[in-house]
Structure 1
Amino acid sequence: MDKIKNQTRPVFPFTAIVGQEEMKLALILNVIDPKIGGVMIMGDRGTGKSTTIRAIADLLPEIEVVSDDFFNSHISDYDLMSDSVKTQLENNIDLSTQSIKVPMVDLPLGATEDRLCGTIDIEKALNEGIKSFDPGLLAKANRGILYVDEVNLLDDHLVDILLDAAASGWNTVEREGISIRHPSRFVLVGSGNPEEGELRPQLLDRFGMHAEIRTVRDASLRVQIVEQRSKFDQDPYGCIQEFSKEQENLKELIINAQDLLKDIVIDYDLKVKISHICGVLNVDGLRGDIVTNRAARAFAAYQNKKEVDINDVKQVITLCLRHRLRKDPLDTIDSGTKVDQVVNEILS
């Protein structure tokens, strides 16, 4: 219990969250394989979006980082290492490391490009010949989760920068001919309320997954959610203790899945069926095919399997494709239902 109380602020346990299975699965799969490309969570206000995202970050095992490094650099993985750390290693300088909680970075709605990307001190560079860089949120989010609430209200230019960094794993800042590049590998999570406006289709397409959440209508389930929240508010550490075993079990499942991921295989015929579904649904580009393959492999790893089967694809494909369908204002069914219909025909 003392270890629990050492936390700066108690976080609602992920395994205590009632319902919203689609959102929880999308977050777990992105944590297992960040290359899925993040998740966009659209739903009504007050449905636990922020609570769930903070809870998954808190659940994850600590990561080892180089001490006093702005970018949470990995001590041995070159792709997750800043240039200064690489230089020190090449010069055989001993570096100390420390374990930290997985970074959870919030992007405020009014953030500027400098706040997001970081800034170069031009004066220092010109006068002293030193590249002086003040890191932004993309640096702090490296190897963690970057959360943008109400992403549909964020300036399109900033959304572009975010998505480029999430896809490439790097952030480059250029000012007056001076360029600085640093690793920025993170799980991008956006949330929003569709009543406040949709994201442009070309930006929405860049999110790996799209989870839709609705206000729970079932009365008994609503009571269960309210009681669970009240219990946490009255005694947060008691609630954390109550769910500690479930939290530990889920953490082990995620770590195991991350280790298994590289060995998971998908049969060629199943890949063809995934691409057939994308073709029938008129999904533009190949991002839908790629993300569905990745997500299916992550789900198989999560189930502790070595090979993807049809059921794994069925579990993830709607999350991967529903936001990539062309919007038809005359359609009487939503995009998720349309995906389900085609999937059931082709994967029967």
Structure 2
Amino acid sequence: MASPFSPASARAASPALVAASTSRPLFLTAAISARIPSRRGFRRGRFTVCNVAAPSATEQDTKAKAAKESQRPVYPFPAIVGQDEMKLCLLLNVIDPKIGGVMIMGDRGTGKSTTVRSLVDLLPDISVVVGDPFNSDPYDPEVMGPEVRNRVLNGDTLPVTTTKITMVDLPLGATEDRVCGTIDIEKALTEGVKAFEPGLLAKANRGILYVDEVNLLDDHLVDVLLDSAASGWNTVEREGISISHPARFILIGSGNPEEGELRPQLLDRFGMHAQVGTVRDAELRVKIVEERARFDRDPKSFRQSYLDEQEKLQDQITSARSNLGSVQLDHELRVKISKVCAELNVDGLRGDIVTNRAAKALAALKGRDTVTVEDIATVIPNCLRHRLRKDPLESIDSGLLVVEKFYEVFG
């Protein structure tokens, strides 16, 4: 019997799937030439993959309903007073996840975690394969888990449902196995099955991975996040057995600069950097306190009062995502963006790429199909301030340096 990844099976698959499968490594390693115990003694064979945590369709629906009923009310996004910079960065990443996530740094008690968690309500539903622990996209081979990909190659019909985009909180004390997933070595040796227990990265695929106090995260977990965020894949290797699955997520981190700085390598991986501060205006502080007290008294009624604004913002995001591909950025403006990056000595090209993407996402959010200089001026400090080299003798804020250079280049 031919392997599902044999040339014959590949030719039988759809052209799009074959093209996608040749663009990056296959999910499974090549046949493992090891002796595996079986009922007839020892034999040479190929491991098959089995997700021990994959729920059935009925279980998934039951859990989804139970979770919805027991879910505690979330503070509505439009009700958040102030912090416009942070809210804009989050919205732009929802419109274009390829921007690369947001790093939110600011004082404690400024609503960083509240704002991120309220973002989930705004996200549109996505199509997923029923029972798949990786939130596989039934129509995109590049975002399919190994089992779903095998089923597509075999010509099986995939059961599809829609679900809310998930947000996964990464606890500071999480182990690497909890984040990446684990392989049941005993089952692999006795039954020849790659029994894989998916971790948080699998759950975060096509969703949001939120790391609170990211500057306190262990270095080895930071390295794991960097690898997955950069490649969009998570690979688990144990005792010569290797399993890979897609792990594409919007990486959002928050932290207090008083508790320590981040490594430059980690900072550079975040597409945008939002700086939040404590509100100083007394009237505004009173308004924030009153709104929070009203939410605590009656969360459902409070959420209902912001329902129209919430739906309006959801429609705006949906429209922006659908129109993003048609937004144009003039070549002259691209050159000026790159000139700003070059004159600020920004390492690498991530700054150029992210600024282009963020400016397009902002134009789409405003309902336009052309990027203006004003759009670039709005996003470029958030895209570049965390990429500048630190000068201990420099007293001016890095964001102001970016603004000064922008006006110098753009006139």
CA-CA distance at 1:7 after TM superposition: 6.2
Which residue does the alignment assign to 1:33?
96
Q: 1:259 aligns with which of 298, 319, 322?
A: 322
How far apart, CA to CA, are the structure 2 residues paired with 1:245 and 1:160? Answer: 42
Task: Report deviation, 1:243.
Answer: 0.7
User: Is contact 1:144–1:186 with CA below 8 Å preserved after alignment?
Assistant: yes
Q: Choose the corresponding residue for 1:16, options 41, 55, 79.
A: 79
CA deviations on 1:198-225 (whole Å, 9 max, x unpaired) are 0011221111111000010110010111
For residues 112-191 of structure 1, the aligned pairs below 5 Å read 112-191=175-254
The equivalent residue for 2:40 is none
Alignment of 1:1-348 (within 5 A): 6=69, 8-348=71-411
Whole-Å Cα distance in 2 between the matches of residues 207 and 109 of structure 1? 18
TM-score between both structures, scaled by the size of structure 1: 0.96
Aligned equivalents of 1:61, 1:233: Cα separation in 2: 26
Letter in 1 for 2:266: L
Give, in whole Å, the separation in 2 of the partners of 1:158 and 1:143. Answer: 20
Task: Output the CA distance in 1 between the equivalents of 2:346 and 2:284.
Answer: 36
Higher gyration radius (CA):
2
Higher relative contact order (CA 8 A, sep 6+): 1
- Secondary structure (helix, strand or coil) at the match of 2:156 reads coil
State the shift of 1:309 in Å: 1.5
| 1:149-195 deviation digits (Å, cap 9, x = unpaired) | 00000012211211221222111111122111111111000000000
Residue identity matched to 1:96: P
Q: 1:78-97 CA deviation, whole Å, 9 max, x = no partner?
A: 12211211211222222222
Paired letter, 2:397 = D
d(CA) in 1 for partners of 2:326, 2:209: 28
Amino acid at match of 2:349: L
Q: Find the counterpart in structure 1 of residue 34 from structure 2.
A: none
Paired letter, 1:90: L
2:367 & 2:242 partners in 1: Cα distance?
44
TM-score under structure 2 length normalisation: 0.82
Q: Partners of 1:194 and 1:150 in 2: how far apart?
A: 10
Alpha-carbon distance in structure 2 between the residues aligned to 1:226 and 1:314: 32
CA distance in 1, matches of 2:284, 2:182: 48
Residue 39 of structure 1 aligns to which amino acid in structure 2?
V
Identify the residue that residue 35 of structure 2 maps to in structure 1.
none
Shift of 1:6: 4.3
How many Å separate the matches in 2 of 1:264 and 1:174? 42
Paired with 2:261 and 2:145, the residues of 1 have a C-alpha distance of: 36
4+ aligned runs moved over 4 Å, structure 1: none
Are the counterparts in 2 of residues 23 and 41 from structure 1 also a CA contact under 8 Å? yes
1:266 counterpart letter in structure 2: L
- Cα displacement (A) at 1:108: 0.3
CA distance in 1, matches of 2:226, 2:375: 27
Deviation at 1:98, TM superposition (A): 2.2
The one-letter code of the counterpart of 2:356 is: N
Q: Distance in 2 between matches of 1:289 and 1:320?
A: 9
Q: CA deviation at 1:285?
A: 1.1
Give unpaired runs (5+ residues) of structure 1: none
Structure 1 position 135, deviation (Å): 0.3
Aligned-pair distance for 1:119?
Answer: 0.7
Q: Is 1:42–1:193's contact at 8 Å kept on the other side of the alignment?
A: yes
The alignment of Structure 1 onto Structure 2 pairs a total of residues equal to: 344
- Cα displacement string for residues 108-127 of structure 1 (whole angstroms, at most 9, x for unaligned residues): 00111111100111121122
In structure 1, what is the Cα distance between the partners aligned to 2:322 and 2:223?
31
What is the rounded CA distance, in whole Å, between the counterparts of 1:298 and 1:312 in structure 2? 9
Q: Using the TM superposition, name which of 155-164 and 206-215 deviates more.
A: 155-164
For the Cα contact (< 8 Å) 1:58–1:102, is it kept in 2?
A: no
More off after superposition, 84-93 vs 270-279: 84-93
